[in-house]
Amino acid sequence: MAGEGGRRFLDPKTLTKISRLDIRARLVVEGFVTGLHRSPYHGFSVEFAEHREYVPGDDIKHIDWKVYARSDRYYIKQYEEETNLTATILLDGSESMKYQSDPELPSKLEYGCTVAASLLYLILRQRDAVGLVTFDEEIRKFIPPASSPSHRNLMLNALENVTPTKRTSLGPVLHTMADRVKRKGLVILISDLLDDPEKVISGLRHFRHRRHEVIVFHVMDVAERTFPFNAMTRFEGLEELGHVICDPGALRSAYLEELEQFMGEIQHGCRTDRIDYVPLDTSQPLDVALTSYLATRSGMKLS
């Protein structure tokens, strides 16, 4: 319902439960930074905050030449408005994301859109900047980070209009976005990750090389996780694959073993590169999944 600005993804019950944590943590951008925004003039203050090392792409007008004269190293003067969180949410809109095994549960795409909408709501409520990227085999929509109230509706409309018809090509998309997102910040990937694990990890590593903090929400349908099929079943392929009729009982053990190996490779790669890996399935109540994760990340305890 595009006319509603995508608000169907903003479940009030979910947001209320998430908000109960009073999430004001900035989710670790400059080292381990948590807690309330320190400046009461957040977003407007130009008061000097601290120095940080110069990185290629920084505006040279902010180089502190007095510090350079003493240390022979380039440092940037960082102001309060520069310490605000800048987040970019990447949502997989490929054809495999439309899979829905149970009509009583959301599809992977609907679940992923709700994750994205909830996070952008929380980030904007903190008056931080957030942007949105939707993609399949290429980038379909790129809304650069901003923190204005109207920005939320722009992103919600983009979520509402995702059409999952193309194949996944995660690696190239991640590398492209790592080059385009210049300012160091938080990158959130929401995807079923159905691609070559090495290519996925390589793309995520590119963001870490650019000094971004990265969170991966691995969204799967509950049937993909448990393979509950019993009778002879016709499996329809997505992303230009065909179909096959088979006895699922003969495949269950091999399938589940392959799935565990796949998820293990992703998880190991993320752990190695200090990337948060959060497995989700469509049967999980979103408020429980997100509050548990955010509470753990921000060092808070659920009441």
pLDDT at res. 77: 72
The domain segmentation of the chain, as residue ranges, is 2-29+85-297, 48-82
pLDDT of residue 19: 45
- Listed in sequence order, the DSSP H helices in the chain are 12-19, 65-71, 108-125, 149-160, 170-180, 197-209, 222-226, 248-272, 286-297
The β-bridge relationship of strands 129-135 and 243-246 is unpaired
- Say what the pLDDT of residue 114 is: 86
d(C-alpha 96, C-alpha 100), whole Å:
10
Characterize the bridge pairing of strands 129-135 and 86-92.
parallel
> Which helix (H) or strand (E) segment is 244 a member of?
strand 243-246
Distance CA 122, CA 188 (A): 13
Q: Does domain 2-29+85-297 have CATH number 3.50.50.60?
A: no
Q: Do 159 and 7 form a contact (C-beta atoms < 8 A)?
A: no
**Spatial separation of the C-alpha atoms in residues 59 and 48, rounded to whole Å:** 16
Distance CA 201, CA 172 (A): 11
pLDDT confidence of residue 168: 83
Can you list the residues of the chain whose pLDDT is less than 70? 1-50, 57-58, 78-83, 229, 231-250, 294-295, 297-303
CA 58 to chain centre: 25
- Segment (H or E) for 68: helix 65-71
**Residue bearing tokens 């989700």:** 280
- For 247, the token pair is 């006895």
Question: If you write DSSP's letter for every residue of 75-140 in order, what string do you get?
Answer: EEEEEGGGGS-EEEEEEE-SGGGG--S-TTS--HHHHHHHHHHHHHHHHHHTT-EEEEEEESSSEE
| Secondary element (H or E) of residue 141 | strand 139-146
Question: In the structure encoding, which two tokens stand for residue 48, read together?
Answer: 């000097």
Token readout for 242 is 């065909």
Amino acid 109: pLDDT: 93
Q: Cα 181–183–187 angle (5° rounding)?
A: 60
